[in-house]
Structure 1
Amino acid sequence: MIELNNVTKYYTTKLGKKYVLRDVTFTIPEGRDVAILGRNGAGKSTLLRLLGGIDFPSKGTITSNKRISWPLALASGFQGSMTGRENVEFVCRVYGNRQIAKTSAFVKEFSEIGDYFELPIKTYSSGMKSRIAFALSMAFDFELYLIDEITSVGDASFRKKCIESMAEKRKTANVIMVAHDMNTLRAQCNMSIVLDNRELTLYDDVNQGIESYQAKLSK
């Protein structure tokens, strides 16, 4: 279960505070797979970062009794001056994973970046960063995975491997997912969240949320 209580999120800009969420309160119950819907810039990725603990509310609280992943394929959390291996080892220590050598070997093989694994992250392309970030996510057993456009990672062959790996994880875990393909959301999720004008609406049925979102787009 995840609970948001009076959560507000804004970013300070030269033009003042830019609000993404205002006084949002809701609960995601146990065992649900959730689609997040909203226009570009509505705050979908920000909400995922908040749920994953990568970002923090400006006001309010987020609590959960689940082991939640960081957003899959999120590469912005890496330390650029450290190598791929060093970043993986650091994350292992933070999350209490003592099988550091085994995890590093898995990430190197899964990501398919070869010798770049021993070079600083700042020398990587954006695609390589996404590959290693997704591979690192798959090296951990979370109870809830946060997915932001999984189909945008790598080439067709690598995306196929990502989807197959995620399907295996989902046998024992749930997902909260952002995707532009409505068929993907219908197939993977059973409830939905619609973000609009800094407010959030929770729908117990994924199709209801999709219909509401598409109606807003047509206005």
Structure 2
Amino acid sequence: MIRFENISKGYMIRGRWHQVIDRLDLELPGGQSLALLGRNGAGKSTLLQMIAGNVRPSTGRIISDGTISFPVGYAGSFHQDLTGAQNTRFIARVYGVDSDELAAFTEDFAGLGKYFHMPVRYYSSGMVARLNFGVSMGIRFDTYLVDEVTSVGDAAFRARSQALFQDRMAQSGAILVSHNFSDIWRFCSAGVVLDQGRLTLYHNLAEAIAHHKEIMARPPAPVDERSGA
């Protein structure tokens, strides 16, 4: 379970206020894979960051009764001057898992070769995503936060990523951001739609997708010009 209690979050963008979340009170069920849908720029990544605890809401609080992963696909999870191996071992200590086991799993799964022992600053964005996915999936969480990462890499790596993610979903839940509806139908059983600061839960995935397509068919809403107070 993840519960939002009076959550609001906004930013100033070019002198104008952009409301990402507006007075959200909602409870998301545990143990389910939820598709997080919405326009580009609607605030999906910000919402994942708040759920993970990396970004603080402007008001309210988020409560969970289980463990939550860091956002898979978010490069900020790693220190740029540490190697992939060092970052992996550091994250293992943070989450209280065996560092040798996580390092071995991640090195094998990510397939980075010598780069696993090189500073992350020399990685391509795809390599960072592979490391991020391997580290996250190597730790057992109750809920995984995933942002497009199952589409990273060549066909063989994508197939391995999707198979591993599906295996984890047998015992865990997830909040998945993806523009690939094949992945959404494959991995998700319900959906939440973020639009103009409001988050709506649909237990029927088809209804969530229909709402998302209706949003995408209309012109974007103007930026909120409030002061942000």
TM over 0.5: yes
Alignment of 1:183-194 (within 5 A): 183-194=182-193
Alignment of 1:63-212 (within 5 A): 63-97=63-97, 99-212=98-211
2:45 corresponding residue in structure 1: 45
- The one-character-per-residue Cα deviations of 1:168-217 (angstroms, maximum 9, x if unpaired) are 11111112111112333233222211111111112221111111121222
- The one-character-per-residue Cα deviations of 1:132-161 (angstroms, maximum 9, x if unpaired) are 111101110111111211333112111111
What SS does structure 2 have at the residue aligned with 1:76? helix
Q: Closer, same or farther in 2 for the Cα pair 1:111/1:184, shift >3 Å?
A: closer
Separation in structure 2 between the aligned mates of residue 65 and residue 207 of structure 1, nearest angstrom: 27
174-183 or 34-43: which moved more? 174-183
1:11 corresponding residue in structure 2: 11
The Cα shift of 1:16 comes to 4.4
Separation in structure 1 between the aligned mates of residue 126 and residue 182 of structure 2, nearest angstrom: 25
Separation in structure 1 between the aligned mates of residue 99 and residue 39 of structure 2, nearest angstrom: 40
Separation in structure 1 between the aligned mates of residue 186 and residue 119 of structure 2, nearest angstrom: 38
What SS does structure 1 have at the residue aligned with 2:54? coil
Separation in structure 2 between the aligned mates of residue 116 and residue 31 of structure 1, nearest angstrom: 35
Separation in structure 1 between the aligned mates of residue 179 and residue 20 of structure 2, nearest angstrom: 19
Aligned residues: 218
2:225 corresponding residue in structure 1: none
2:62 corresponding residue in structure 1: 62
1:214 corresponding residue in structure 2: 213
The Cα shift of 1:100 comes to 1.1
Q: Give the conservation status (yes or no) of the 8 Å contact 1:74–1:134.
A: no
Gaps of 5+ in 2: 219-229
What SS does structure 2 have at the residue aligned with 1:201? strand
Q: Give the conservation status (yes or no) of the 8 Å contact 2:31–2:143.
A: no
Q: Give the conservation status (yes or no) of the 8 Å contact 2:31–2:171.
A: no
- The one-character-per-residue Cα deviations of 1:12-55 (angstroms, maximum 9, x if unpaired) are 44514432111111001233221111111111121122112222
Gaps of 5+ in 1: none
What SS does structure 1 have at the residue aligned with 2:27? strand
Q: % of aligned pairs identical?
A: 37
The Cα shift of 1:126 comes to 1.0
What SS does structure 1 have at the residue aligned with 2:165? helix
RMSD: 1.5
Greater RCO structure (CA 8 Å; 6+ sep):
2
What SS does structure 2 have at the residue aligned with 1:72? coil
User: Residue 114 of structure 1 aligns to which amino acid in structure 2?
Assistant: G
User: Residue 202 of structure 1 aligns to which amino acid in structure 2?
Assistant: L
TM-score of the aligned structures, taking structure 1 as reference length: 0.93
Separation in structure 1 between the aligned mates of residue 179 and residue 30 of structure 2, nearest angstrom: 25
TM-score of the aligned structures, taking structure 2 as reference length: 0.89
